[in-house]
């Protein structure tokens, strides 16, 4: 006898095409004893129809009153909105992306409703958690898309061509920030035949960049290692020196893809207006950090800014532009997380587990995580 029920709501934030579960993951969860309820058309923008969910064993209903009651946990991509929260019964759990600094009001509303909220943004990056690492799965999509978008915006070929009409040199691509998204952008640009160089403030990135056949740009700067494999927040002095050293590398590039981020902080400014002005006409900057302030001074999220013939694309929510596979991977992450929440066929989160405790944003109207509490109280 089991007693686990998952509810999946449609995403209502404009421009969000992903969904928190897909038929493949429903099959896996149903086989593990879950009842899965899905709001009608939740998957339609990711190419998953209601019939596909039903065939996988889900109950699909247009009525949230049929989807949500009795759910142990609601899965979403984006945090529930203030309009959605009153529909979620008190005491239910919710799992989604959720940033304590950016989503403060939503988190407070969930506390008031005694919702237990878990955020993929807070997943500890330990090897046991890799199958639940939604930040990485979505960053993989973002990096891939960034390279493809750069290739289509650039009025040149990426690969070298030796033709009867003459030889075309390969495009010079520079990737700033060689984390999960940056490495995927490097791999994709390499597959398209570009000449790729990359830079990161973490020393471990050098080997990873080189293993993809790209050149690591070594600057005369101290490494900026934080905890958990992340970069630490850098001083304005460090960033100013970095900009001074990187300027000529930017000017020599046909394409610059920026992916640099510091968890929970504004993205560091790496590419100034002056550097964009120094790039050749037709060059392209694709800024993956557009939604967190931008790595480029010129960036406007969701827009193309053309300056002196250089196009700066501020990518907003890039995984949503490839929703089928982004949702497929996200749903796998959700299913792995849900498996961790079950004991003897019951939904029974173990708050002594490092992953459960690390991801928990609110519980019983409180914020159990000190780091989250300090951000919320700041
Ligand atoms: N389960 C695991 O163990 C696990 C999972 C995922 C990632 N990781 C580690 O974490 C690393 C970073 O993860 P992410 O991609 O989510 O990071 P992220 O999205 O927070 O940042 C992207 C990249 O920007 C870099 N960066 C920050 N400031 C910069 C600056 N001023 N100039 C240039 N680059 C700058 C960071 O070092 C990082 O590589 C990974 O490469 C990996 O080593 C570990």
**CATH H-level superfamily of 140-321:** NAD(P)-binding Rossmann-like Domain (3.40.50.720)
232 CA distance to ligand 1 centroid (A)?
10
Query: Ligand 1 centroid to 296 CA: how many Å?
Result: 18
Q: Find out whether 73 and 341 touch, Cβ atoms under 8 Å.
A: yes
The share of the chain scoring above pLDDT 70, in percent, equals: 99
Q: What is the mean pLDDT of residues 275-286?
A: 97
Domains 4-122+323-365 and 140-321 share a fold: yes
Give the mean pLDDT of the chain. 95
Burial zone of 305 (CB within 10 Å; 0-12 exposed, 13-18 middle, 19+ buried): middle
Report the pLDDT value the prediction gives residue 2, as an integer from 0 to 100: 58
Which tokens go with 153?
């915006």
pLDDT over 60 at 116, yes or no? yes
Q: How far apart are CA 43 and CA 37, in angstroms?
A: 12
At 107, give phi and psi (nearest 5°).
-65, -40
Q: How confident is the model at residue 374 (pLDDT cuts 50, 70, 90)?
A: confident
31-55: average pLDDT: 98
What are 150-163's pLDDT values in tens digits? 999 999 999 999 99
pTM (predicted TM-score)? 0.95
Average the pLDDT over 314-326 and give the result. Answer: 97
Can you give the pLDDT at residue 97?
A: 97
State which of 128, 140, 230 you would mutate to test the pocket of ligand 1, scoring each by most atoms of that ligand within 8 A of its C-beta. 230
Name the strand (E) or helix (H) holding 111: helix 104-112
Enzyme catalytic residues:
125, 130, 133, 136, 230
Query: Which residue reads 């893809």 in tokens?
Result: 257
For the Cβ of 143 lying below 6 angstroms from any atom of ligand 1, the answer is: no
Q: Give domain limits for the chain.
A: 4-122+323-365, 140-321
Q: What is the best residue among 132, 206, 219, 229 to mutate for testing ligand 1's pocket, by most ligand atoms within 8 Å of CB?
A: 229
| Ligand 1 within 6 A of CB of 295 | no
pLDDT above 90 (res 166): yes
Mean pLDDT of 93-116: 94
pLDDT (0 to 100) of residue 263: 79
pLDDT at 1 over 70: no
Cβ of 314 less than 6 Å from ligand 1: no
What pLDDT score was predicted for residue 191? Answer: 98
Q: What is the mean pLDDT of residues 113-122?
A: 96
Say yes or no: domain 4-122+323-365 is CATH 3.30.2310.20: no
Instruction: Note the pLDDT tens digit of each residue in 211-247.
Output: 999 999 998 888 888 887 788 888 999 999 999 999 9
**Cα–ligand 1 centroid distance for 200 (angstroms):** 9
Q: Ligand 1 pocket, 139 CB below 6 A?
A: yes
CA of 292 to the centre of ligand 1 (A): 15
């Amino acid at each position: 006898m089991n007693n686990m029920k998952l509810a999946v709501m449609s995403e209502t934030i404009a421009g969000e095409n992903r969904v928190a579960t897909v038929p493949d993951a429903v099959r896996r969860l149903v086989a593990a004893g879950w009842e899965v309820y899905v709001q009608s058309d939740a998957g339609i923008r990711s190419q998953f129809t209601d019939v596909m969910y039903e065939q996988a064993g889900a109950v699909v209903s247009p009525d949230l009153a049929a989807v949500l009651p009795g759910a142990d946990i609601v899965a979403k991509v984006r945090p529930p909105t203030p309009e959605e929260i009153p529909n979620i019964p008190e005491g239910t759990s919710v799992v989604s992306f959720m940033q304590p600094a950016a989503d403060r009001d939503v988190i407070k509303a969930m506390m008031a409703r005694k919702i237990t909220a878990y955020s993929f943004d807070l997943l500890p990056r330990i090897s046991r958690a890799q199958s639940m690492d939604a930040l990485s799965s979505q960053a993989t999509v973002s990096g891939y898309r960034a390279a493809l978008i750069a290739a289509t915006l650039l009025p040149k070929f990426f690969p070298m061509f030796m033709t009867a009409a003459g030889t075309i040199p390969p495009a010079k691509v520079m990737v700033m920030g060689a984390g999960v998204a940056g490495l995927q952008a490097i791999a994709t640009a390499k597959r398209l035949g570009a000449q790729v160089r990359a830079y990161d403030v973490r020393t471990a990135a050098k080997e990873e960049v080189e293993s993809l056949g790209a050149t690591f740009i070594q600057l005369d700067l101290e490494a900026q290692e934080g905890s958990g494999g992340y970069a630490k927040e850098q001083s304005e002095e460090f960033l100013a020196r970095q900009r001074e050293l990187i300027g000529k590398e930017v000017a020599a590039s046909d394409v610059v893809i920026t992916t640099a981020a510091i968890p929970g902080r504004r993205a560091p400014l790496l590419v100034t207006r002056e550097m964009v002005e120094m790039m050749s006409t037709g060059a392209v900057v694709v800024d993956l950090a557009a939604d967190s302030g931008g790595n480029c001074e010129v960036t406007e999220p969701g827009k193309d800014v053309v300056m002196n013939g250089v196009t700066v694309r501020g990518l907003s929510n890039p995984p949503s532009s490839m929703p089928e596979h982004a949702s497929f991977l996200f749903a796998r992450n959700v299913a792995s997380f849900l498996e961790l929440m079950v004991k003897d066929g019951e939904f029974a989160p173990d708050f002594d587990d490092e992953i459960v405790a690390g991801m928990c944003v609110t519980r019983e109207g409180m914020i159990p995580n000190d780091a989250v509490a300090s951000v919320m109280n700041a």
